[in-house]
Amino acid sequence: MMLDAAQVWTGAQFFLKLPGYLRRPLTLGQARAHLAEGLRNRENLFLDKVRLDIFGYPERPYAQLMRCAGCEYGDIESQVRREGLDSTLHKLFQAGVYLSIDEFKGRRPAQRGSTVIEVQPSMLQAPRASYLLPARSGGTRSKGTPVMIDLEFIRACAGNAAISLSSRGVDRWAKTSWESPGAGLRFRTVKYACWDGPPSATFSQIDPESDAIPSYFRWNLRLLRWVSGAARRPLPWPQYAPLDNPRPIVAWLHQRRRAGEVPHVHAFTSSAVIACRWAIEHEVDISGSWFTLQGEPITRAAINTLRQAGCRAIPRYGTMEVGAIGYGCAHGDEADDMHLVTNMHGLIQAGDAGAAYGLPPKAVLITSLHAQAPFVMLNLSMGDQAEMADRSCGCPLEAAGWAKHLWNVRSFEKLTGGGVTLHGTDVIRVLSEVLPGKFGGVQTDYQLAEKLGSDGEALLELVVHPRLGDLPSDLIAEEFLDALSSRSDSDTMMIQRWRDAGTLRVVRRAPAVTQAGKIQYLHI
């Protein structure tokens, strides 16, 4: 991978500023004070964002959307002062001031009436952020979005993570993450170094010394270790722990528990399930360990697998583009009951107005409030929907000021094949609950893959892991189709098309893993 001058300069700035960042760690008291300040100034943060980052750049997409809606800054300020932030966000959305995920990622222009607005992620970069850590989001249907991250933004995210972990009643954690050796791992390592001591270890799902890793990433990891050591805040070198043999991270959990520590792992939901399943099968005691789960749907089935290993889960909802949006409620009733991080985000639902823009009523629209967040986001749909409510739960996160809850976070992007359209929520239910309950295994043993046949016809493969043994393919296929068609008569008729056309095929192989280390229910 050849680096241009801008990338070299960005990397140099990051490593020059890293020692100062590491030498001023956050205390929990400081994190709580920053959260309280963010909540007090929430409306002012939004107005600064609109005035400086939107109206200050009239050629950029959001300023053009404002002009299409006939909005000026004074109108928005008056609305916020009169009715509050959430009401203002709703009215802006109804006026067409929003971006869909396809528009944000530059897959298609934003069209409002007769006006067509070209959008690329680079046009939405936050102008007040210092871009020091290059990253890339984990794209489901694309190569992902280039993301440039500010160290002060990482510090703000670290404070929120510290508050989340402190809500579990543990004074000191042995922290680690388990993901791919790219910017996500570096982000997590630097974030966790910001309070309560550096991470105890880090683990990579890809060998960090492998030639398959671009030299750019390997040198970044080495520089991270050398520079942090020179700053006397040494950060660990990632240990190799592949998904098909998670022994190293399971051994680390076991050792930390034997030493009387409380280990915590930040990982994708499927990765945590794999580690816990491996520990159960090999009779390794990791009970008392905690996992923060992210990046994939957090289901009751996944939580149950962790509980079988004696582990506990903290749900997290977020993206590389915006950071953590929600952290798990200590008293939650749902598998993914989370508190919205309202000091850094505004979040509304599309409601009935969403129909005009092709969004379901429960589609969530996010607005970034932090000045150094990677992107300017105002009513951005990331393709997710959720339940949302203000309710009193009595947990420490509510006491900290995060009162709004969200749960049942799922993608509403659709999968179409053979003339049949499926919603992601339906497929997730069948793959994570119905099939494991009938044929054994866990949610990471099943996957629905979309592909084109040799003559261009749409095919769907129901991928089943070979480790489940000799299972009857025809029965698996029928159970899957029956479960999908059981919701309504129209579903039954649509699924019958697949039966008639032979669209669905059961294949025995390990489910595909994305470059970021996710095992997605729907693999495109």
Instruction: List, for residues 203-231, the tens digit of each pLDDT value.
Output: 998 888 887 677 777 787 888 889 888 88
Above 90 in pLDDT, residue 502? no
Q: What is the CATH number of the domain that holds 316?
A: 3.40.50
pLDDT class of 506 with cuts at 50, 70, 90: very high
User: What integer pLDDT is reported at residue 184 of this predicted model?
Assistant: 77
pLDDT digits (tens, 9 = 90+) for 431-441: 888 999 999 99
Q: Tell me whether residue 32 is in a domain.
A: no
Task: For the chain, give the number of residues.
Answer: 524
Contact (Cβ atoms closer than 8 angstroms) between residue 465 and residue 471: no
Are residues 177 and 266 located together in one domain of the fold? yes
Q: Report how far residue 497's alpha carbon sits from residue 495's, in angstroms, rounded to the nearest whole number.
A: 5
Contact (Cβ atoms closer than 8 angstroms) between residue 329 and residue 316: no
What's the average model confidence in pLDDT over 432-451?
A: 88
Calculate the alpha carbon distances from 508 to 17, 270, 476 in Å: 49, 19, 11
Are residues 66 and 114 located together in one domain of the fold? yes
User: What integer pLDDT is reported at residue 156 of this predicted model?
Assistant: 95
Are residues 192 and 234 located together in one domain of the fold? yes
What's the average model confidence in pLDDT over 183-208?
A: 88
pLDDT class of 456 with cuts at 50, 70, 90: very low
User: What integer pLDDT is reported at residue 423 of this predicted model?
Assistant: 62
Three-state DSSP class for residue 518: coil
Calculate the alpha carbon distances from 261 to 37, 47, 175, 425 in Å: 32, 44, 10, 37
pLDDT class of 442 with cuts at 50, 70, 90: confident
Contact (Cβ atoms closer than 8 angstroms) between residue 321 and residue 137: yes
Q: Report how far residue 455's alpha carbon sits from residue 493's, in angstroms, rounded to the nearest whole number.
A: 25
Above 70 in pLDDT, residue 512? yes
User: What integer pLDDT is reported at residue 1 of this predicted model?
Assistant: 45
Above 50 in pLDDT, residue 270? yes
- For 507, other C-beta atoms within 10 Å of its C-beta total 12
- For 56, other C-beta atoms within 10 Å of its C-beta total 14
Q: Tell me whether residue 101 is in a domain.
A: yes
Q: Report how far residue 147's alpha carbon sits from residue 144's, in angstroms, rounded to the nearest whole number.
A: 9
pLDDT digits (tens, 9 = 90+) for 40-74: 999 999 999 999 999 999 999 999 999 999 999 99
The first and second tokens of residue 53, run together, are 């980052």
Are residues 313 and 436 located together in one domain of the fold? no
In DSSP terms, 506 is beta-bridged to 462
Sheet of 263-268, strand order: 239-240, 203-204, 174-179, 263-268, 290-294, 312-319, 323-328, 338-340, 404-411, 380-390, 363-368, 345-349
User: What integer pLDDT is reported at residue 524 of this predicted model?
Assistant: 59
The first and second tokens of residue 133, run together, are 């850590």
Are residues 115 and 264 located together in one domain of the fold? no
User: What integer pLDDT is reported at residue 500 of this predicted model?
Assistant: 60
pLDDT digits (tens, 9 = 90+) for 225-261: 898 888 888 999 999 998 889 999 999 999 999 999 9
User: What integer pLDDT is reported at residue 220 of this predicted model?
Assistant: 79
Which residue did the predictor score with more confidence, 413 or 341? 341
* Domain count within the chain: 3
Q: Tell me whether residue 302 is in a domain.
A: yes
Are residues 88 and 113 located together in one domain of the fold? yes
Three-state DSSP class for residue 4: coil
What's the average model confidence in pLDDT over 71-97?
A: 97
Torsion angle of the four alpha carbons 474, 480, 482, 488, in this order, in degrees rounded to the nearest 10 = -160
Q: Tell me whether residue 17 is in a domain.
A: no
Above 70 in pLDDT, residue 88? yes
Q: Which of 410, 431, 466 is the last residue of a domain?
A: 410
CA atoms within 13 A on the CB side of 91: 15
User: What integer pLDDT is reported at residue 458 of this predicted model?
Assistant: 54
User: What integer pLDDT is reported at residue 513 of this predicted model?
Assistant: 83
Contact (Cβ atoms closer than 8 angstroms) between residue 373 and residue 323: yes
Are residues 146 and 194 located together in one domain of the fold? yes
Q: What are phi and psi of 229, to 5 degrees?
A: -65, -40
Q: Report how far residue 312's alpha carbon sits from residue 444's, in angstroms, rounded to the nearest whole number.
A: 18
User: What integer pLDDT is reported at residue 326 of this predicted model?
Assistant: 97
Q: Tell me whether residue 327 is in a domain.
A: no
Amino acid occupying residue 386: A
Amino acid occupying residue 193: A
Q: What is the mean pLDDT of the chain?
A: 87
Q: Which of 410, 444, 467 is the last residue of a domain?
A: 410
The pTM of the full predicted model, rounded to 2 decimals, is: 0.82
Are residues 123 and 164 located together in one domain of the fold? no
* 73: containing domain: 41-127+338-410
Q: Report how far residue 393's alpha carbon sits from residue 477's, in angstroms, rounded to the nearest whole number.
A: 42
pLDDT class of 142 with cuts at 50, 70, 90: very low
What's the average model confidence in pLDDT over 270-277?
A: 90
Are residues 385 and 514 located together in one domain of the fold? no
Contact (Cβ atoms closer than 8 angstroms) between residue 111 and residue 296: no
What's the average model confidence in pLDDT over 172-188?
A: 86
Are residues 367 and 510 located together in one domain of the fold? no
Q: Report how far residue 82's alpha carbon sits from residue 76's, in angstroms, rounded to the nearest whole number.
A: 10
Q: Tell me whether residue 35 is in a domain.
A: no
Q: Tell me whether residue 18 is in a domain.
A: no
Which residue did the predictor score with more confidence, 145 or 168? 168
Q: What is the CATH number of the domain that holds 434?
A: 3.30.300
Are residues 256 and 298 located together in one domain of the fold? yes
Are residues 220 and 342 located together in one domain of the fold? no
Q: Tell me whether residue 447 is in a domain.
A: yes
Q: Lowest mean pLDDT: which of 49-53, 105-109, 378-382?
A: 105-109
Which residue did the predictor score with more confidence, 524 or 499? 499
Above 50 in pLDDT, residue 139? no
Q: Return the beta strands (E) in 400-503 as ranges.
A: 404-411, 414-417, 420-423, 446-452, 458-464
The first and second tokens of residue 365, run together, are 């629209």
Amino acid occupying residue 7: Q
Contact (Cβ atoms closer than 8 angstroms) between residue 252 and residue 176: yes
pLDDT class of 179 with cuts at 50, 70, 90: confident
Q: Report how far residue 213's alpha carbon sits from residue 505's, in angstroms, rounded to the nearest whole number.
A: 34
Q: Which of 410, 436, 466 is the last residue of a domain?
A: 410
Listed residue (456, 476, 477) closest to 468, CA to CA:
476
Listed residue (22, 35, 12) closest to 397, CA to CA:
35
